[in-house]
Amino acid sequence: MSTIGYESWAVDLADVNAIYPFQGWEMPMTIIGVIFWLAWHRIQFVREGQHLEEARKMGEKEKIDKMLERY
Amino acid sequence: MDGNLDALTTVFTEFYYWVTVVFMFLIHVGFCMYEVGASRARNHMHTLMKNIMIIPLVTVTFFFFGWWIYWAFPNFWFFGGSIDFEAGAANLPWSENMATNLDDRITGVFWAAFLLFSWTAASIVSGSVIERIRSSALWVHAVLIGSVFWIIDAAWGWHYGGWMVQKLGYHDAYASGVIHAIAGGYALGVIMVLGPRIGKFAKDGTPRDIPPHNPWMLTIGIFLIYTGFWGFYAACNVPAISPEAIGGQITGTTWTATNIYLAPTSLSAITFNFLMSLSGGLMAAYVVSKGDAFWTFSGGLAGIITASAGNDLYHPIQAMIIAAIGVVIVYNLHYWVERKFKLDDAVGAVAVHGYAGFVGLVISGFVLWGAPSSPYEGYAAINPVGQFLGAVIMFFVLGFLPGFIVAKLQSMAGVLRIPEEVELQGLDYAEHHAYEDAKAAIIEADKAALAAKS
């Protein structure tokens, strides 16, 4: 048994195509990948919104002045 | 791979594109350095992160759908065309060709070469919006320009069967329009909605210069972009192909390098022209900006971009002159637009990429008038009208309009720009506060330890 479809390389390479594991599962893998991508945007969007909202109230004038001077 | 010659050609082509991809990575390194150098200290980390995360986001989306668009869209809608599902099939994310496959050694490296162009397109937009855009908003634009709009334009005008090539005689060998004009136009659309940074314009509307925090970082950044751009040029070519494999009108048996349209050129020709257009751009920018260092360096880049549309065919002196003309136009246009429309293009991306790309396409239509756009029969020849229409499609239709519309929607939803308070204290406020507090605490602890010993 081999996840890539080959248990030995005693083959003519001209007859070899795909050699990645779990061939036939490309569509579910794509769906998982797309969900991962969209979920990342969602998580980042929510966190950034919260972060910016907190930041609006956070600034201490003295520290901000120092940052502006630092350029 | 039947036969030694086929095997050698395949392995050489695979290696060739792989090398170009590694070189092109330097473009992104350069853009990151340029953006961080141009931003102020209070925004450094966010500016860097904003550009770095373009890499994974555009990569995965270009895998999921960008690459498929390139192969499926060359004739979409126009002149009776439709989505080419057959050509697209091998480039879908669930295709066996889009993975480890010993029967296909080219798709991965060819996909990667296009992908690095996608990063570049997104990174161009990223530079113009620094210090005031929300990262989440920019990353939506990055996916749209990097994995949707630029690749649609590539399918139309940067594909051997694209409708723009067939009907308009559109010619854009090293991407004046398909990367630079579209990305510059897109950036223009976004900054029109986004607005300028606080303090950019005085109350009477006079623009203020916001000098870079670290000029040396900018300098190294743009030199890295030049270096990566060289790899980009090589990546735009097919390195070695026989007339038989092209299947067009070329006769005889002489193998050649070709541009993306499978029309003949050589690495030697584009090396001449890359260096001469870089030189023309640098020289003109030095003169027109009165020796301003950053406009001079950017002028080198703008010069190459202006000449890129025809750099597969130009004489090197033509490349030099065209680059110089482009830079003079771009420089003046940048300041005119800034004053007239109060637009804050933080790194001059709209000018260096957008205007230079547009102007380069228009000029190439005259200089290459009547030259064949393709080795295939029935294609329109290169001509001024086709190139002008192509420039409009790239800059306005696929660049400016989507950028403007999406930014407008984000603005209406209140998710485009950071709050004013945050802009003033800087995006890195939390990191800086934590840094300053930690620094003060450890200095205090060290002083206490020293006092205890004495």
pLDDT in tens, B53-90: 999 999 999 999 999 999 999 997 777 788 999 999 99
Q: B1 at the A interface (CB within 8 A)? A: yes
Q: Give domain status of residue A46, yes or no.
A: yes
pLDDT confidence bin for B2, thresholds 50/70/90: low
CA distance A35 to chain B (A): 11
Q: Give domain status of residue A33, yes or no.
A: yes
Q: Each residue of B364-413: pLDDT tens digit? A: 999 999 999 999 999 999 999 999 999 999 999 999 999 999 999 999 99
**How many residue pairs from chains A and B have C-beta atoms closer than 8 A?**
100
Q: Mean of the pLDDT values across residues B31-44?
A: 94
* Closest C-alpha among B111, B24, B14 to residue B67: B111
Distances from the Cα of B243 to the Cαs of B139, B172, B249, in angstroms? 42, 22, 8
Count of domains for chain A: 1
Rounded to the nearest integer, the mean pLDDT of chain A is 92
B160 contacts: CB under 8 Å, gap ≥ 6 = B260, B261, B262, B374, B376
Q: Give domain status of residue A44, yes or no.
A: yes
Q: Give domain status of residue B105, yes or no.
A: yes
Q: Mean of the pLDDT values across residues B283-302?
A: 96
Q: Each residue of B311-349: pLDDT tens digit? A: 999 999 999 999 999 999 999 999 999 999 999 999 999
Distance CA B172, CA B218 (A): 28
Q: B430 at the A interface (CB within 8 A)? A: yes
Q: Which amino acid is at A60?
A: E
Strands (E) located in B259-393: 264-265
Task: Give the residue on A whose Cα is nearest the Cα of B431.
Answer: A55
Residues B370 and B383: beta-carbon distance below 8 Å: yes
- State the pLDDT at residue A70: 76
- State the pLDDT at residue B1: 53
Tell me which residue in B415, B419, B430 faces A56 most closely, judged by beta carbons.
B419
Distance CA B72, CA B154 (A): 11
Q: B43 at the A interface (CB within 8 A)? A: no
Q: Give domain status of residue A4, yes or no.
A: no
Phi, psi of A18 (to 5 degrees): -70, 140
Count of domains for chain B: 1
Q: B446 at the A interface (CB within 8 A)? A: no
Rounded to the nearest integer, the mean pLDDT of chain B is 95
pLDDT at B203 over 60: yes
Q: B416 at the A interface (CB within 8 A)? A: no
Full residue range of the structural domain in which residue B124 is found: 4-418
Phi, psi of B434 (to 5 degrees): -60, -40
pLDDT at B284 over 70: yes
Q: Mean of the pLDDT values across residues B136-153?
A: 98
Q: Domain with B400 in it: what CATH number?
A: 1.10.3430.10
Q: Does the beta-carbon distance from B96 to A26 stay under 8 Å?
A: yes
Q: Each residue of A41-70: pLDDT tens digit? A: 999 999 999 999 988 887 778 778 877 887
Distance CA B412, CA B415 (A): 8
Q: Give domain status of residue B451, yes or no.
A: no
* Closest C-alpha among B78, B70, B30, B71 to residue B51: B30
CB < 8 Å to B422, chain A: 52, 55-56
- State the pLDDT at residue A57: 81
Distance CA B149, CA B139 (A): 14
Q: Give domain status of residue B432, yes or no.
A: no
Q: Give domain status of residue B423, yes or no.
A: no
Distance CA B322, CA B311 (A): 10
Q: Does the beta-carbon distance from B433 to A64 stay under 8 Å?
A: no
Q: Give domain status of residue B137, yes or no.
A: yes
Distance CA B285, CA B163 (A): 36
Q: Mean of the pLDDT values across residues A29-52?
A: 97
- State the pLDDT at residue B96: 97
Max Cα–Cα distance, chain A, nearest Å: 73
Comparing A48-62, B291-305, B343-357, which segment has the lowest mean pLDDT? A48-62
pLDDT confidence bin for B298, thresholds 50/70/90: very high
- State the pLDDT at residue B222: 96
Q: Mean of the pLDDT values across residues B294-319?
A: 97
What ipTM does the predicted assembly reach? Answer: 0.94
Q: Give domain status of residue A38, yes or no.
A: yes
Q: Give domain status of residue A34, yes or no.
A: yes
Q: Give domain status of residue A66, yes or no.
A: yes
Q: B271 at the A interface (CB within 8 A)? A: no
Strand pairing partners for B372?
B381
Tell me which residue in A14, A18, A55 faces B99 most closely, judged by beta carbons.
A18
Q: Give domain status of residue A58, yes or no.
A: yes
CB < 8 Å to A49, chain B: 136, 415
Which is more confident, B78 or A22? A22
Q: Give domain status of residue B178, yes or no.
A: yes
Q: Mean of the pLDDT values across residues B29-41?
A: 95
CB < 8 Å to B100, chain A: 18-20
Full residue range of the structural domain in which residue A66 is found: 25-70
The one-character DSSP state at B264 is E
Comparing B103-107, B230-234, B284-288, B433-437, which segment has the lowest mean pLDDT? B433-437
